[in-house]
Amino acid sequence: MKARYYIAAAVSLMIAMATSCGNAGAQNDSKKKSTEQKYAIELTSEQFLQLVYNINSEEMKYLGTKPAIVDFTATWCGPCRSIAPILEELAKEYEGQIVVYKVDVDNCRDIAQAFGISSIPAVLYIPLEGEPSMTIGARNKSKFQSEIDKILLGK
């Protein structure tokens, strides 16, 4: 009887330690992530209206000074989560040449509606000259690079 008690106590202790270590690791990861510099800029609706397009004006004119990507995304979207680190890498690699924005469609419904976003991930490419273009669906890094070079940088 005592042996069962000691085994149960040991198992409970091991589970508690494993759970505690797992949470500590998660806390360290979240602290680490929060201190990392972000290159893709998350926008609110108000910021979008000031930095990208004022959808309330008669003429929708791009307000930025560099070509831009707008990633229409949501936290619950698996494909959106899969392209997020790619876009972050590209924002860093193309720093100074383009700007990468992120718009959460759940938090910025007015912006998503103005652009007719019905499927995500949706990526809007905004060149300084010419018409913007939209792509739908996840892509790999090389496809994004090709689109950035062709659509935004004219290479």
What would you report as the CA-atom Rg of the chain, rounded to the nearest whole angstrom? 22
Q: Which tokens go with 79? A: 């494909």
Helices (H), 36-152: 45-51, 78-93, 109-114, 141-147
- The pLDDT value recorded for residue 59 is 83
How many Cβ atoms sit within 10 Å of the Cβ of residue 71? 23
| CATH number belonging to the domain at 41-152, selected among 3.30.300.30, 3.40.50.2000, 3.30.70.1450, 3.40.30.10 | 3.40.30.10
CA dihedral over 54, 136, 104, 42, signed as positive or negative = negative
Below-70 pLDDT ranges, the chain: 1-36
Q: Give the catalytic positions in this structure.
A: 77, 80
Say which residues have a Cβ less than 8 Å from residue 49's Cβ, sequence separation at least 6.
55, 56
pTM for this model (two decimals): 0.75
Q: Which tokens go with 106? A: 């759940």
- The pLDDT value recorded for residue 141 is 97
- The pLDDT value recorded for residue 91 is 96
In terms of Cα–Cα distance, which of 90, 113, 114 is closest to 100? Answer: 90
Query: Which parts of the chain are beta strand (E)?
Result: 41-43, 68-73, 99-104, 122-126, 133-136
